[in-house]
Amino acid sequence: MRRMDIPETIHFEKTREYRKGRFTISTDRELIDLDVVHGFLTECYWAKGIRRDIVARSIENSLCFGVYMEGKQIGFARVISDYATYAYIGDVFVLESFRGRGLGKWLMECIMQHPRLQGLRRWSLVTRDGHGLHAQFGFELLKKPQNYMELHRSDVYQHIEG
């Protein structure tokens, strides 16, 4: 089997940082406060009861965007991508006490403008209540939902042994 030539950019991820007043968005995984991210996700509708080690693994295997105010984590999102054709945006949140300041919109702008995520053919996300935010970035309801399939195990986190 021939080893595929993989561009250096696949192996080396430069950290990006964006600033707006007292707020910062960073892709540096070292800054992520796992307690904050896990604390939010384990109580939210899409990941209720998720274990801390599973959140840690999801962060390890994603392009993550942390939102910080003066070094304290107040928001998060992650992107799962092959960096060539497809990206899935997941776990987007801003803590409730910081909502209404445009941080969710700024977070999405940073994601959509990230250099590694340019030129992708398809983006997707799943949301119950973020349609207005994501529509501002071109997201729409599925045009042909009959073409999509999923295996969705909504209670998987309650059955995983740790």
**HEC profile of 87-145:** EEEEEEEECHHHCCCCHHHHHHHHHHHCHHHCCCCEEEECCCCCHHHHHCCCCCCCCCH
Note whether residue 2 is domain-resident.
no
Q: What is the CATH number of the domain that holds 14?
A: 3.40.630.30
Residue 104 pLDDT > 50? yes
On whether the pTM is more than 0.75, the answer is: yes
Average pLDDT over residues 62-72: 97
pLDDT digits (tens, 9 = 90+) for 20-60: 999 999 999 999 999 999 999 999 999 999 999 999 999 99
Helix axes 34-41, 52-60, angle to 10 degrees: 110
Tell whether 1 is covered by a domain.
no
Segments forming the whole domain that contains residue 139: 8-158
Q: Indicate whether 96 pLDDT > 50.
A: yes
Q: In the structure, what pLDDT confidence band is assigned to residue 162 with cuts at 50, 70 and 90?
A: low
Give the count of domains, the chain: 1
Q: How far is CA 139 from CA 84, 85, 108, in A?
A: 19, 16, 11
